[in-house]
Amino acid sequence: MNIQTLLEKIRQPWINRVSYDMARGAGVRENFEKELARFFNLLEQAVLTGDPSWIDPIIFDWANAPTESELAEGKQSLSTLISRSNAFTFDVARENLSPEDALELLVATSAIFSYALTKSAHYESDKRVTYIENELRSIRRKLEQLDRSKSNFISVAAHELKTPLTLIEGYAAMISEMVSQENAAPLLEGIQGGVQRLQEIVNDMIDVSLIDNSLLSLNFQPFWFNQSLNLLRKELQPACDSRQLLLEINPFDGDSQLIFADPERIYQALRNLLTNAIKYTPNGGKITVSGRKLPGFIEVVVQDTGIGISLEDQITIFEKFNQLGKASLHSSSKTGFKGGGPGLGLSITRGIIEAHGGTIWVSSEGCDEKTCPGTSFHVLLPDRNEASDPKVSKLFAVTAEDHQLENTPIEK
């Protein structure tokens, strides 16, 4: 018996078996049987010609048939359908043909089904990848929109808060001059302290907004690390003394070298790092500032003996509004142990360093309040020793000469 006759003998039993197994419901089964008949016709052509590509069109159509919900659920129905159809071919051939004819038919169709299974897996994979790529693009657009909304909110909120803050600060100063009673002085000092703290937060919000929108402007001037570090020591020493913290700033190669940077912004960045070290170092701990000169760069390291940072938090620590620890235990203290804040300091620090063409990273073995593994922040700043403006370059050279004559070391 020739192969075409064998295929015709199992045609209808095969369609019935596959449709009843794979389709549910009379309406669905009727349409499915039409598709199975189409598949069987192409299968027959593929067997008779020896060219398995005859079934490509229907495999392609079936691969693109799944709905979005089926793709979202990760259903791989086509590969299952081809595999089950191949298995049913064996069952139907065994039931309707002699053993010799059944074997001949299976030999003829197995290669076609193998080809169909490979093709279906390929098409399904492409379809799934396309779906995931579209989903990722959609998520990325939503995240970008959310980030823009956050940036816009920060910008608007900061500027809206700035005006009433200025008014409160001005009126508090006027009342302070008018009122002489001793019992009113502490109240006015409290108001002024609160205004100052709120002003710092508003300024941080403005800085974050400028960084997010690539509008942070830098005023490049002659700059020496040792001068900024000496000023930071004087500013932060009282806070360290109140917490019995040892602040050690070590001289290093390159600390007295004149470079070209924005002194105010670098001071702000270093101050944020030191303040962060103070907050997460238990009483009696140590904070060390060191550095070294590298080819084309100067590295500054702020190291503490604090509680450390978990590997998970190290990934997001430079993101704005990032908070270490539980939000329910949040404290607004600037220098108290585990004191919190709006979570903008390290984000601003990274923005300032990167705006200078540098980079910043953190290293820590993890977070443990008992063993205190500590944390190290590394700042890499370009060794920029020229100004783009010739007039500034000339002033830069004169200032460098004066500084070399002074040769100011880092204070012990």
Residue 176 burial (CB < 10 Å; 0-12/13-18/19+)? middle
* C-alpha dist (Å) from residue 173 to 79, 167, 168, 178, 193: 78, 10, 8, 9, 12
Residue environment code for 85-114, b if the CB has 16+ CB neighbours within 10 A, otherwise e: bbebbeebbeebbeeebbebbbebbeebbe
Residue 5 inside a domain? The answer is yes
Where in 84-223 does DSSP place strands (E)? Answer: 221-223
Residue 411 inside a domain? The answer is no
Please indicate, yes or no, whether residues 211 and 194 belong to a single structural domain of this protein.
yes
**Model pLDDT, residue 180:** 63
- Which domain does 167 fall in, by range? 1-215
Please indicate, yes or no, whether residues 232 and 210 belong to a single structural domain of this protein.
no
Say which CATH number the domain at 347 has.
3.30.565.10
pLDDT tens track for 200-213: 777 887 788 788 77
**Model pLDDT, residue 194:** 78
Residue 370 inside a domain? The answer is yes
Determine the distance from the C-alpha atom of residue 390 to the mean position of all C-alpha atoms in its chain, rounded to a whole number. Answer: 41
Please indicate, yes or no, whether residues 401 and 306 belong to a single structural domain of this protein.
yes
Going 258 to 261 to 267 to 272, the CA torsion angle's sign is negative
Picking from 163, 190, 215, the residue at the C-terminal end of a domain is 215
Most confident segment among 113-117, 200-204, 236-240 = 236-240
Please indicate, yes or no, whether residues 18 and 153 belong to a single structural domain of this protein.
yes
pLDDT tens track for 358-371: 999 999 999 999 99
Pick 321 or 256 by higher pLDDT: 256
Report the interhelical angle of 225-242 vs 263-279 (nearest 10°): 30
Distance CA 307, CA 340 (A): 14
Nearest to 80 by CA among 36, 124, 42: 124
Percentage of the chain surpassing pLDDT 70?
81
**Model pLDDT, residue 42:** 92
Q: How confident is the model at residue 155 (pLDDT cuts 50, 70, 90)?
A: low
pLDDT tens track for 310-322: 998 898 899 877 7
Please indicate, yes or no, whether residues 253 and 337 belong to a single structural domain of this protein.
yes
Please indicate, yes or no, whether residues 387 and 255 belong to a single structural domain of this protein.
yes
Residue 76 inside a domain? The answer is yes
Distance CA 361, CA 317 (A): 10
Average pLDDT over residues 160-165: 75
Residue 294 inside a domain? The answer is yes
Q: Which residues pair with 288 in a beta bridge?
A: 248, 303
Going 335 to 338 to 344 to 346, the CA torsion angle's sign is positive
Range name among 48-57, 234-243, 400-409 with the lowest pLDDT average: 400-409
Range name among 13-22, 76-85, 396-405 with the lowest pLDDT average: 396-405
Q: How many structural domains compose the chain?
A: 2
Residue 74 has pLDDT above 50, yes or no: no
Please indicate, yes or no, whether residues 39 and 80 belong to a single structural domain of this protein.
yes
Picking from 215, 232, 267, the residue at the C-terminal end of a domain is 215
**Model pLDDT, residue 341:** 67
Residue 394 has pLDDT above 80, yes or no: no
Please indicate, yes or no, whether residues 258 and 196 belong to a single structural domain of this protein.
no
SS3 content of the chain, % helix, strand, coil (to 5): 65, 10, 25
Residue 223 has pLDDT above 90, yes or no: yes
**Model pLDDT, residue 328:** 46
Q: What's the number of CA atoms in the CB half-sphere (13 Å) around residue 295?
A: 0
Please indicate, yes or no, whether residues 173 and 225 belong to a single structural domain of this protein.
no
Picking from 185, 215, 245, the residue at the C-terminal end of a domain is 215
Residue 86 inside a domain? The answer is yes
Residue 200 inside a domain? The answer is yes
Residue 397 burial (CB < 10 Å; 0-12/13-18/19+)? middle
Residue 393 has pLDDT above 50, yes or no: no
Please indicate, yes or no, whether residues 227 and 334 belong to a single structural domain of this protein.
yes
Average pLDDT over residues 124-150: 82
Please indicate, yes or no, whether residues 144 and 258 belong to a single structural domain of this protein.
no
Please indicate, yes or no, whether residues 232 and 86 belong to a single structural domain of this protein.
no
* C-alpha dist (Å) from residue 13 to 20, 112, 124: 11, 19, 28
Distance CA 24, CA 31 (A): 11
Average pLDDT taken over every residue of the chain = 82
What's the pTM? Answer: 0.57
Residue 412 inside a domain? The answer is no
Average pLDDT over residues 91-105: 90
DSSP element (H, E) containing 304: strand 297-304
Average pLDDT over residues 249-274: 94
